[in-house]
Structure 1
């Protein structure tokens, strides 16, 4: 069972906010939520290809979301440059 819709938005927003702070990106609350959710999905897919599966609980998904959002910010910066 996953986190649920509301909890996914909360965890995604928190992950995106932390990632934007780490990466020194100036993003708003809406983009933070999007970055956190998409970052978690992308990194969960990449980890799944390697046979690694994060537990479907708040803390592991928060960590995956932060790392995934940082990865998305990094890629976006490289594409823009």
Structure 2
């Protein structure tokens, strides 16, 4: 139960940060949580392929998820414009 709560908090923070960085791409609270969690999954697959390693811990997880969410929001904004 505690791990789920941490995932939701990290996802919310990462989605909120990504929504600030990629203007006009926020999806509200629930949408930002989902984008943050999916962003961390994207970054989890993308970073090792690129050889990028971010520190462990809560802050590292938030940075990791935020970068993945920014990439995800950027791709989604390109799709929405098309």
TM-score interval (norm. to shorter): 0.7 to 0.9
* Partner in structure 1 of residue 61 of structure 2: 61
Q: Cα deviations across residues 13-57 of structure 1 (Å, max 9, x unaligned)?
A: 011011101111232100010011110111111112344444442
TM-score (norm: length of structure 2):
0.82
Unaligned residue ranges in structure 2 (runs of 5+): none
Counterparts of 2:50 and 2:34, CA distance in 1: 24
Alignment coverage as a number of residue pairs: 79
Name the one with the larger helix percent: 2
Q: Residue 78 of structure 1: CA displacement?
A: 1.6
Contact 1:40 1:69 in 2 (8 A): yes
* Partner in structure 1 of residue 20 of structure 2: 21
Unaligned residue ranges in structure 1 (runs of 5+): none
TM-score (norm: length of structure 1):
0.83
Counterparts of 1:9 and 1:56, CA distance in 2: 18
Supply the RMSD in Å over aligned alpha carbons: 1.8
Contact 1:44 1:54 in 2 (8 A): no
